A and B are shown apart, each in its own frame.
Chain A
Amino acid sequence: MLIDKDMKLAEIIHHDYTLLPVINRFNMHLGVGDKTIAAMCREKEVNTDFFLSIINTFHDHQYFPAQHLKQFPAAMLVKYLKQTHLYYLNRKLPDIETQLENMEQNCAINGDTLTLLLNFFKEYSKELTHHIEREEKVVYPYVLALENAVETGKITDDFNKKLQNYTITNYKQEHENVEEKLFDLKNIIIKYLPETQNDAFCHVVLRDLFDLERDLNNHSRIENLILLPKVEEMEHLYKQINS
């Protein structure tokens, strides 16, 4: 189903509650009343077209209007991606860690297995956090400065130096594949957890891991297929202006 601006947000949530975290990223919260998407976007000063593009991308994996998404300003994309990072760092990762700690305390599994899994997750969490920090400290400021330089046509020595030292191709190489660790963690719980009667806690953890994975995949899609090509285009444009 394609989500449209005249639909009520409440209806969308009933239809696909997994969109809740995505809606949050646009500063929209529960208690949505009877507001349509258009009305909510107006209220929250969000670009309706951008909101719909993102929501539909999450809702239907086949839907990915790459060309359309590339037309939005990099600043808009970056703002959205930063909100997603906050969700991972402040909600998802701490939540899963707490669930794993619950699992450790309440599942009657002998030995160190649950501690091992908890530590494995902590290691993964650290890697993902480091990756996010790098994006926020280096990549995103670079992207915003680049967009500004292209738009204003202003060429500064300082930015030229940055461009010499760092282009988006560096980012491509740095975009580490942390996904494999997440997959391994899920798989170990699914296949190799010693049998226990009390695996309800494990279900909760697994569900959260699947949710996180799905969100990360969508996030990567936007970064790799929209932001990166857009930035490559801007770098090209900037070099043309500069010559």
Chain B
Amino acid sequence: MTRIVSIVLIGKTYLIKAGLETFLSEFSYVSVVAQFDGTEPDIEKRITELKPDVVIANLHHDERSLLTLWQSLSKNPSIYLCALSNGELLPEVCSKFKIVADVSMDKMALTNLIKNILTEKGLPGLSQETDNKLSERENDILKLVACGLTNQAIANKLFLSVHTVTTHRKNITKKLDIKTVSGLTVYALMNKLVSASEIENSH
């Protein structure tokens, strides 16, 4: 199963964002999920919550904002940061970004840039996970989550560290694409990983 690469655009210039969006709409498996102008409060938090694959920032006129953005978003290595330059961005700023595109680039050059990003992200053709099935360990943990146990209680029961349990839970959420405990419980019950009486008894 091939997933869709999500992109966030940042920049004050509406025309550039609109142009980028139109250009990106020609690609399969690519979707612009949000646009910001760069001045929004909590912008880094809001972007992080969206968990985009790529962030394209047209902030070449405001290098300080660009660097602030880089500082907070670069903490998340799965987000590819792309700076849009007008040819005047300082080399030390450019070097911080994984990708630097130039507004003067022609369609072919931009297309190759995007194709490289998609290839690095494992697209098209290759899926992120060949199999979204849960491992046996993940099934065990899912069962206990459905029974309402805390991460610490699960760790104790399975002789794991809390950190390991958290990692497993993140993987479970990623594989199933279900975020809430109630959602996971429904899934577990639907797939008979746990029974209603088991859940009742553990509460």
Report the minimal beta-carbon distance from B54 to chain A, rounded to whole angstroms. 19
Which residues of chain B are within 8 angstroms of A185 by Cβ–Cβ distance?
A: 183
The contact sample of 29 A-B pairs, CB cut-off 8 A, is: A112-B189, A112-B190, A112-B196, A113-B190, A116-B189, A116-B190, A117-B186, A120-B182, A120-B186, A124-B182, A180-B180, A180-B183, A181-B180, A183-B179, A184-B178, A184-B179, A184-B180, A184-B183, A187-B177, A187-B178, A188-B183, A188-B186, A188-B187, A188-B190, A192-B187, A192-B190, A194-B190, A225-B40, A229-B41
Interface string of B29-43 (1 = CB under 8 A from A): 000000100001100
Number of interface residues of A (CB under 8 A): 21
In this complex, what residue of B is CB-closest to A194?
B190
The residues of B with any CB-CB pair to A shorter than 8 Å are 35, 40-41, 177-180, 182-183, 186-187, 189-191, 196
Closest 8 CB pairs of A and B: A184-B183, A180-B179, A116-B186, A184-B178, A181-B180, A184-B180, A180-B180, A120-B186
Indicate whether A181 sits within 8 Å of B183 (C-beta atoms), given known contacts A112-B189, A113-B190. yes
- Bound Cα distance from A73 to B187, whole angstroms: 45
User: Is the CB–CB distance between A188 and B182 below 8 Å?
Assistant: no
SS of A interface (majority): helix
In this complex, what residue of B is CB-closest to A232?
B41
User: Is the CB–CB distance between B182 and A184 below 8 Å?
Assistant: yes
Report the minimal beta-carbon distance from B197 to chain A, rounded to whole angstroms. 12
Interface string of A191-220 (1 = CB under 8 A from B): 110100000000000000000000000000
Which residues of chain B are within 8 angstroms of A194 by Cβ–Cβ distance?
A: 190
- Bound Cα distance from A123 to B177, whole angstroms: 20
Whether A243 sits at the interface, judged by CB under 8 Å, is no
A49-95 residues with Cβ-Cβ distance < 8 A to B are 62
In this complex, what residue of A is CB-closest to B41?
A229
Report the minimal beta-carbon distance from A114 to chain B, rounded to whole angstroms. 10
Indicate whether A181 sits within 8 Å of B187 (C-beta atoms), given known contacts A187-B177, A191-B177, A229-B41. no
